[in-house]
Amino acid sequence: MTLHVVVPEESEALPFTVEPGGAQVASKEVPERIHRILAGLLDGGAVLAPPGGTDETVRAERLAEAVHGKELLEHLRHGVPVGAESVLDDAFAAPGLEQETPVTRGVWPAALGAATAAVRAAGLTARRGEHAYALVRPPGHHAGPGWYGGYCFLNNAVIAARALQEDGASRVGILDVDYHLGNGTLACVQGDPTLPFASVHSSRPDDFPYAFEPGPGLFGAGSDPGPEGFLALVGDAVSHLRGQDVEALVVSVGYDVLAGDPHGSWSLAPEVFGPVAALVTEQRLPTVFVQEGGYGLPSLRGAARALALEASR
């Protein structure tokens, strides 16, 4: 099976984030992440998909409007005041959190480009019955119905799932294997039985998004689970989704579960993404992988290669 990789046009790095108290710190959401992940995917047998068309951009914007509220989208499009380069607005922070992610003038085209790549990946998967990987930045799983944060502006995973539904899959499972709970994804699909959600993540109270209620499909680890524990949790999450009779999968891939990631605390090796991908592809379901976190640059190529070797079998 061929793993098709969809990469949007390169956008600028998010220049900074804001710590409590107002101090600006350099963002780790940088273009080099995508270069290294792409190299690993191609090493593992994946192939680059050809460029898409403007119709996919139109579709992505329409689906974004179905997933997110109008006020949020208008803020992302036009929220930076004249004469300013960025804006930080707590009105669009996730419930209970302070806003730490600025909106800059380049955010909207970058976020829409990522969503468009997710839509293209979903279209390739639906038409060919194969797997696709939306290698996007900015990521998306912390973007909720009316908020953004955690480097995320539009929820690419949910947008991809909605595209798969439009293309014929009535129930699409979303599996999130990022170190951080996809609080935005959870909020976007809550109450919708056609988009069941399962997540493997850190549940330490000092890890973003800090506080959340346990619930069905949420497989949190209060400390480093190690490779066996992590894979057991992924297996439980996959089983949870299969129990919902899903017809396709969207996998939010976060390489921040790996040792040395500046936004994580676990000790997993890059090779763990081989068996993660095997657990997914053994389901024999059309699958769209969507890039989320992963900021430890030295580990990214190996992790992506391990995933692609399994997903390309």
pLDDT of residue 213: 79
Show which residues are catalytic: 142
Going by their DSSP bridges, the two strands 103-104 and 131-134 should be labelled as: unpaired
Report the pLDDT value the prediction gives residue 247, as an integer from 0 to 100: 97
Q: How confident is the model at residue 234 (pLDDT cuts 50, 70, 90)?
A: very high
Task: Please give the pLDDT value at position 298.
Answer: 98
pLDDT beyond 80 at 233? yes
Q: How high is the pLDDT of residue 19? A: 81
Query: For residue 209, is the peptide bond before it cis, meaning its omega torsion is within 30 degrees of 0?
Result: yes
Closest residue by Cα to residue 177 from 249, 244, 283: 249
* 214 CB burial (10 A radius; 0-12, 13-18, 19+): exposed
* Tens digit of each residue's pLDDT (9 = 90 or more) over 163-199: 999 999 999 999 999 999 999 999 999 999 999 999 9
Q: Comparing C-alpha atoms, which of 150, 134, 131, 120 is closest to residue 37?
A: 134
Please report which confidence band the pLDDT of residue 297 belongs to, taking 50, 70 and 90 as the band edges: very high
Q: Are 212 and 193 in contact (CB under 8 A)?
A: no
Percent of the residues in the chain that have a pLDDT greater than 90, as a whole number? 88
- The string of pLDDT tens digits covering residues 131-157 is 999 999 999 999 999 999 999 999 999
Select from 126, 123, 156, 130 the least CA-distant residue to 46: 130
10: pLDDT strictly greater than 90: no
- How high is the pLDDT of residue 16? 83
Is the N-terminal amide bond of 50 cis, ω within 30° of 0? Answer: no
Q: What is the dihedral of CA 175, 304, 293, 187, to 10 degrees?
A: -10
d(C-alpha 287, C-alpha 263), whole Å = 27
Asked whether the beta carbons of 288 and 118 are under 8 A apart, the reply is yes
Quick one: CA torsion of 186, 116, 84, 146, rounded to 10 degrees? Answer: -20
pLDDT digits (tens, 9 = 90+) for 255-287: 999 999 999 999 999 999 999 999 999 999 999
pLDDT at 20: 74
Decide if 260 contacts 299 (C-beta within 8 A).
yes
| 248 strand-pairing partners | 172
pLDDT category at 128 given cuts 50, 70, 90 is: confident
Is the per-residue pLDDT at 11 higher than 90? no
Angle, helix 226-242 to helix 273-281, in steps of 10 degrees:
20
Specify the pLDDT at position 53: 86
pLDDT digits 0-9 by tens, 89-109: 999 999 999 999 999 989 999
Looking at residue 127, what is its pLDDT? Answer: 82
The mean predicted confidence, pLDDT, of the chain is: 95
Average pLDDT over residues 30-43: 97
Q: In this predicted structure, what is the pLDDT of residue 1?
A: 83
The predicted structure's pLDDT at residue 21? 74
Neighbours of 242 (CB within 10 A): 15
